[in-house]
Chain A
Amino acid sequence: MEFWDKKIECMSRDEIAQIQLEKLQATLNRVYKNVRHYRKIFRDQDFMPEDLRSFSDFTRLPFITRRDLSLNYPYDMFAVPLREVVRLHTASINFEDPIVIGFTENDISSWAELMARNFTAVGISKDDVVQIALNFGITTGPFGVQVGAEKIGASVIPMSAGKLSAQIKIMRDFRTTVLVSTPTLALGLVREMEEINMDPRTLSLKYGVFGSEPWSEETRDVLERKMHITATDTYGMTELFGPGVAWECPQKNGLHIAEDHFIPEIIDPVTLAPLPEGSEGELVLTSISKEAFPLIRFRTGDVSRIDYAPCACGRTHCRISRIFERCDDVIIVRGMAVSPEQIGQVLSRVSGGMPVFQIAVERTDGLDQMTVSIEISDLNFFDEMRKQRRFVEKLHRELSELLGWEVTVRLVEPGTFDPSKRVLDRRTFQ
């Protein structure tokens, strides 16, 4: 079993608690001094950073949501001046209500460190060739993978998520040993290889590191069998670095959270009360090492469970269970977070009023398909056929532009769907 930083990854729970306390206190002192939003919410709770004696004091603090982040758009949540920020990213979640995340030089190096731990844990070393088939854009995903892979000395191919045939050609010619992508793209590669009658065993592929969307054990089984690789999960979100927050070790028994950088909690998403160890609920994360964009008790919206028992791999950092569902209406489609609010904003802009709609997502042939069904009303009913068609086309165009891939738009009669359910996810992950 290889470790990138054995001293930290295998330290005792006592040491972890000490480090977390120190870093948490330092972070609270910094955000209280530098970020107006934190100063305000701390004062509202009558909490001073020096009041923090233990984690029970910590639970007095309110949560941070994505809404808070977008209210402070663009730079008000930054804990350092902008001139110290070397990288800016935005989360994919909602361009209508955007948020900006900054990284200092040290943040980027922590990120590289985290990804290096992830890769080393899986078994990847400097002898490997890493093909990054994630979209290089304004979200963080591929950049963290790149700095991490370069840190361990592997060769990086910044391929981006592009044509499958090109991916396969590069994979064969460059003798790629590690594929980093969404599971959807990997499944696409499997199909493509079957179509062109290519035996994956002729490739040099050994590992697959997949993330940025939920994927089932079944998918893992298919990928491992058909591509002849070891497939592991990696978890993260742009608000907290991106990938590298938690990852699977070869035991494939939960994802290790880097506890020297994050403090995880599980809460009840309705009552917001902390839940006892081992129960399932919403994952809340606090970053204790970030300089530019520290988050205190950030509600991820992901449903998980924490296991503090030591792992057979020797790592002492706790594990979260793999994430298959969310506790809000946000759905991850083709590796991108989509919220009904975001769709609703487009619909109301185009139709000049908020229609009743439902988003349905299905997975056919391993690829997510999204359908937006809209109830017919005065807003979108026209006497003229041509006008009607043009209206639907316009919606289709605007939504597809927003998301970057084709969305099906349907006008349906009232009563066709249950209007209280805005999102219908027909995919199965477990």
Chain B
Amino acid sequence: MLRLQNVNSYYGLIHILKNVSMHVSEGEIVALLGANGAGKTTTLRTISGLQPVADGLIYFDGQDITGASPEKLVGMGIAHVPEGRQLFRSMSVYDNLELGGYLIFKHYGRKQLKSDIEEIFVRFPILKERRGQYAGTLSGGEQQMLAIAMALMSRPRLLLLDEPSMGLAPLIIKDIFHLIATLQADRKLTVLLIEQNAGAALKIADRGYVIETGKIVLEEDASRLMTNQEVKRAYLGREQKEIWE
């Protein structure tokens, strides 16, 4: 469904993504793991058109989308949930959802938008309770749910999730990951997920990539990544001992 070939990206003169190739098939959850500054967020931003591609190709459904504008990509079915729950904090939950559904409103009218929001409320009952509340007053977990709900309002087929568990309590993280897994199952949603919490991400993912200083160093089934000693040591925090010499 999504395919990256030899993608390179720069921040000014700094070479961030070095020949990144990866793919996400229809209906898969793919986790992108890596340390801070490895280029995970840049990869997502490059896919959603927020970060220019210096070299390489990106295909979505067989169509070349390299260099396409973010708004066009949303229309094609790619939704990006950025890191740090970037909501309109001084607007109500309902207004936030309406904004997320802007394209639905544009193409199908207000009636459809309303029924879409109702559908979202079925899945996120907590948001229905808080529909009039300012987004900024929600708890961290609720804000994350709202951020995901906003992205879902554009009826995406591919969801790009950047660190959904950041700054959340472990119990809430569990809920969020459960939500992602059910979204994949019910909506046939394809998910590309960045996560520091590698253990939780690999539990729900089908496959995973490990990125190091802008280069992909591993591509494996999620279950096999969990047993990879290097991944364990670097991201699951189990092994500490040094390399044998």
State in angstroms the CA–CA spacing of A261 and B229 once bound together: 20
Q: Does B112 contact A (CB under 8 A)?
A: no
Chain A residues near B215: list those with CB within 8 A: 25, 29, 49-50
User: Would you call B230 and A23 a contact (CB within 8 A)?
Assistant: no
- Taking chain A's interface residues, is the majority helix, strand, or loop, or is none over half, making it mixed? helix
User: Would you call A82 and B244 a contact (CB within 8 A)?
Assistant: yes
User: Would you call B218 and A30 a contact (CB within 8 A)?
Assistant: yes
Chain B residues near A291: list those with CB within 8 A: 228
Distance in angstroms from A166 CB to nearest chain B CB is 38
Distance in angstroms from A113 CB to nearest chain B CB is 10
User: Would you call B224 and A109 a contact (CB within 8 A)?
Assistant: yes
Q: Does A40 contact B (CB under 8 A)?
A: no
Distance in angstroms from A117 CB to nearest chain B CB is 15
CB-defined interface of A360-383 with B at 8 Å, one 1/0 digit per residue? 000000000000000000000000
Chain B residues near A82: list those with CB within 8 A: 244
B3 in complex: contacting residue of A18, A30, A80, CB < 8 Å:
A18
Chain B residues near A30: list those with CB within 8 A: 217-218
CB-defined interface of A1-42 with B at 8 Å, one 1/0 digit per residue? 000000000000001001101110110011001000000000
Distance in angstroms from A391 CB to nearest chain B CB is 46
Distance in angstroms from B109 CB to nearest chain A CB is 39
State in angstroms the CA–CA spacing of A22 and B215 once bound together: 11
User: Would you call A50 and B18 a contact (CB within 8 A)?
Assistant: yes
Q: Given A53-B6, A106-B224, A22 and B22 touching (CB < 8 A)? A: yes
Q: Does B227 contact A (CB under 8 A)?
A: yes
Q: Does B95 contact A (CB under 8 A)?
A: no
User: Would you call A106 and B220 a contact (CB within 8 A)?
Assistant: yes
Chain B residues near A50: list those with CB within 8 A: 18-19, 215
CB-defined interface of A263-278 with B at 8 Å, one 1/0 digit per residue? 0000000000000000
User: Would you call B5 and A18 a contact (CB within 8 A)?
Assistant: yes
State in angstroms the CA–CA spacing of A83 and B216 once bound together: 24
Size range of the chain A interface in the assembly: 20 to 34
State in angstroms the CA–CA spacing of A18 and B6 once bound together: 10
Chain B residues near A29: list those with CB within 8 A: 212, 215-217
Q: Given A30-B217, A50-B215, A52-B19, A21 and B5 touching (CB < 8 A)? A: yes
Q: Does A81 contact B (CB under 8 A)?
A: yes
Tally of contact residues, B, Cβ under 8 A: 24
Chain B residues near A15: list those with CB within 8 A: 23
Chain A residues near B212: list those with CB within 8 A: 29
Chain B residues near A109: list those with CB within 8 A: 224
Q: Does B119 contact A (CB under 8 A)?
A: no
State in angstroms the CA–CA spacing of A80 and B239 once bound together: 14
Q: Does A84 contact B (CB under 8 A)?
A: yes
* Contact residues of A between 82 and 136, Cβ < 8 Å to B: 82-84, 104-106, 109
User: Would you call B19 and A25 a contact (CB within 8 A)?
Assistant: yes
Distance in angstroms from B31 CB to nearest chain A CB is 15
Q: Does B51 contact A (CB under 8 A)?
A: no
Chain A residues near B23: list those with CB within 8 A: 15, 18-19, 22
Chain B residues near A19: list those with CB within 8 A: 23
User: Would you call B243 and A106 a contact (CB within 8 A)?
Assistant: no
Chain A residues near B71: list those with CB within 8 A: none
Chain B residues near A54: list those with CB within 8 A: 6
User: Would you call A23 and B217 a contact (CB within 8 A)?
Assistant: no
State in angstroms the CA–CA spacing of A237 and B219 once bound together: 24
Name the residue of chain A whose CB is nearest to the CB of B241.
A83
Chain B residues near A106: list those with CB within 8 A: 220, 224, 227-228
Distance in angstroms from A72 CB to nearest chain B CB is 15
* Contact residues of B between 92 and 128, Cβ < 8 Å to A: none
State in angstroms the CA–CA spacing of A177 and B5 once bound together: 46
State in angstroms the CA–CA spacing of A104 and B22 once bound together: 24
Q: Does B21 contact A (CB under 8 A)?
A: yes
Which among B23, B209, B241 has the greatest number of chain A C-beta atoms within 10 A? B23
Could you list some 13 contacts between A and B, CB below 8 A? A15-B23, A21-B5, A21-B21, A22-B216, A22-B219, A26-B209, A26-B217, A30-B217, A50-B19, A53-B6, A104-B228, A106-B228, A291-B228
| Given A19-B23, A105-B227, 17 extra CB contacts under 8 A | A18-B3, A18-B21, A18-B23, A21-B21, A22-B21, A22-B216, A25-B215, A26-B209, A26-B218, A29-B212, A29-B216, A30-B217, A50-B215, A80-B229, A83-B241, A104-B228, A106-B227
Q: Which residues of B contact A (CB under 8 A)?
A: 3, 5-6, 18-19, 21-23, 209, 212, 215-220, 224, 227-230, 241, 243-244
